[in-house]
Amino acid sequence: MKRTEIRLADGRELIYFDERDDAVRDQPDRRELPPPPPASQLRLDPLTDEWVAVAVHRQTRTFLPPADQCPLCPSTAERLSEIPAPDYAVAVFENRFPALSGRVAEEPAEITPFTPVRPGQGRCEVVCFTDDHNSAFAALPPSRVRTVLDALADRTTVLSEYDGVEQVFCFENRGVEIGVTLHHPHGQIYAYPFLPPRTRSLLAAARRHAERTGGRNLYADVLAAEREAGTRVVAANEHWTAYVPAAARWPFEVHIAPHRPVPDIPALSDDERDAFGPLYLDLLRRFDGLFDMPMPYIAAWHQAPVRIDRELGHLHLQLFSIRRAADKLKYLAGSESAMGVFINDIAPERAAALLRTP
């Protein structure tokens, strides 16, 4: 893989990850752009002890443009985009409308004595999986999935070294039902300056389990139990298992986990990285085949924190959809949105059986 860094017209970084060593990436960004926005504002909710990002500049971000105006397609002589090159394999660049960034203009003023405020310092990046606007992750060859995985490993390593970053989160949103604002196949990376609530909950449970069992890894034990039971296993190979969690929150939710406990994507071996693509692509195609239509989904990589409790983590990908039937979506209504108590309409065992069906 060839890695090439350039700067866009407004100073943001772009990195090409090419599968050809002879790829030339010296095309400049010929656009005239305003300076990137300053960092957002982080406000701590004193009632939940959770940070909320207030990023008002994101209200003006690009929203579902037509294909001939897509900012993630390669640039042409007639139209300039975020990608100056005429083609690419995988490209990663700093988001033009970031929720978090390193551009701190000034310290925010106090709101109340009970609501701490700080700059939204961190990093948000866009990961373009292919230069083909009409493709999808499920249509990529395994070799491209490996390139994407290597790019995510690269960015996780680099962003983990940024001052103040506590966790690196890689994810893909797919489908307008999920809330995507660009149709081009892409994902995102958030480098958080705090531990998100989901991670804090996972770590607390893992810590309690380790204390009860003399240091055992909770996720590794759960994975072993699911593999032994087999009821909710959808697919597996030598290095990975894909299974529906016994207490799945979403109508169709699958965890894809390496058999070897590792903290993050950079820690995966070459064999583990190669084995991931075929299994994941098969799973995505099973999702699309459930209702014979493109399945909206979120694919979320859960990695260990950067600085603390890394021994408690176990890398895994959480893939889930809000679609519960061909003509029905799962909405986060009163119980889920207000109280955080999920109600699943489909038994996890039934979901696993449907996903196993050829």
| CATH number for the domain that contains residue 150 | 3.30.428.10
At 282 the pLDDT is 98
Q: Mark the binding-site residues for Zn(2+), compressed into ranges.
A: 70, 73, 133, 184
Residue 105: predicted pLDDT: 81
Tell me whether strands 2-7 and 252-258 are parallel, antiparallel or unpaired: unpaired
Q: What is the pLDDT of residue 9?
A: 98
- Of 194, 224, 254, the position where a domain reaches its end is 194
Residue 18 phi/psi, 5-degree rounding, is -105, 150
- Same domain? For 144 and 247 the reply is no
Do 208 and 351 fall within a single domain?
yes
- Provide the 10 A C-beta neighbour count for residue 118: 17
Question: For residue 300, what pLDDT is reported?
Answer: 98
β partners of residue 90: 17
Separation of alpha carbons 76 and 83, rounded Å: 10
Domain match, 46 and 133 both: yes
Out of 186, 209, 255, 314, the active site residue is: 186
On whether both 185 and 235 belong to a single domain, the answer is no
154 and 285 housed in the same domain:
no
Q: How many domains does the chain have?
A: 2
Same domain? 122 vs 230: no
Tell me the percentage of the chain whose pLDDT exceeds 90.
Answer: 98
Query: Which amino acid, one-letter code, is at 53?
Result: A
Do 190 and 204 share a domain, yes or no? no
- Which tokens in the block code for residue 76? 């042409």
Beta bridge partners of 258: 240
314, 329, 187, 342: which is closest to 256 by C-alpha?
A: 314
Mean pLDDT of 213-224: 98
**Residue 122 φ/ψ region, left for φ over 0, alpha for ψ in the -120 to 50 degree band, beta for the rest:** left
Q: What is the pTM of this model?
A: 0.97
Q: Are residues 172 and 24 in the same domain?
A: yes
In this prediction, residue 284 has a pLDDT band, given cuts at 50, 70 and 90, of very high
What mean pLDDT comes out for the span 240-252?
98
Segment 304-329 shows an average pLDDT of 97
Q: Is the pLDDT of residue 306 over 90?
A: yes
The whole-chain average pLDDT of the chain stands at 97
Burial tier of 30 (Cβ tally within 10 Å: 0-12, 13-18, 19+): exposed
Binding site per annotation, positions: 70, 73, 133, 184
Cα–Cα distance list, 127 to 139, 183, 196, 231, 305 (Å): 16, 13, 21, 35, 21
**Which residue, 39, 346, 9, 303, is CA-closest to 159?**
303
Q: Which of 231, 256, 259 is nearest to 351 (CA)?
A: 231
Distance from chain centroid for Cα 349: 26
Specify the DSSP class assigned to residue 37.
P
Are residues 249 and 227 part of one domain? Answer: yes
Tell me: do 53 and 190 sit in the same domain.
yes
Task: Give the domain-ending residue among 194, 214, 235.
Answer: 194
Domain limits at 22?
A: 2-194
Number of neighbours of residue 59 by Cβ within 10 angstroms: 8
Q: Give per-residue pLDDT as tens, 77-133.
A: 999 999 999 999 999 999 999 999 999 988 888 899 999 999 999 999 999 999 999
Query: Domain end: 138, 171, 194, which one?
Result: 194
Retrieve residue 116's tokens: 């701490």
Q: Is the pLDDT of residue 5 over 90?
A: yes
Q: Which amino acid is at 179?
A: G
How is residue 234 annotated by DSSP? E
- Does the annotation count 316 as an active-site position? no
- Residues sharing a CB contact under 8 Å with residue 146, sequence separation 6 or more, in sequence order: 273, 274, 276, 277
The answer on 148 and 26 residing in a single domain is yes
- Rounded mean pLDDT of 15-35? 96
pLDDT single digits (tens) 36-79: 999 999 999 999 999 999 999 999 999 999 999 999 999 999 99
Is residue 120 located within the same domain as residue 232?
A: no
Amino acid at 307: R
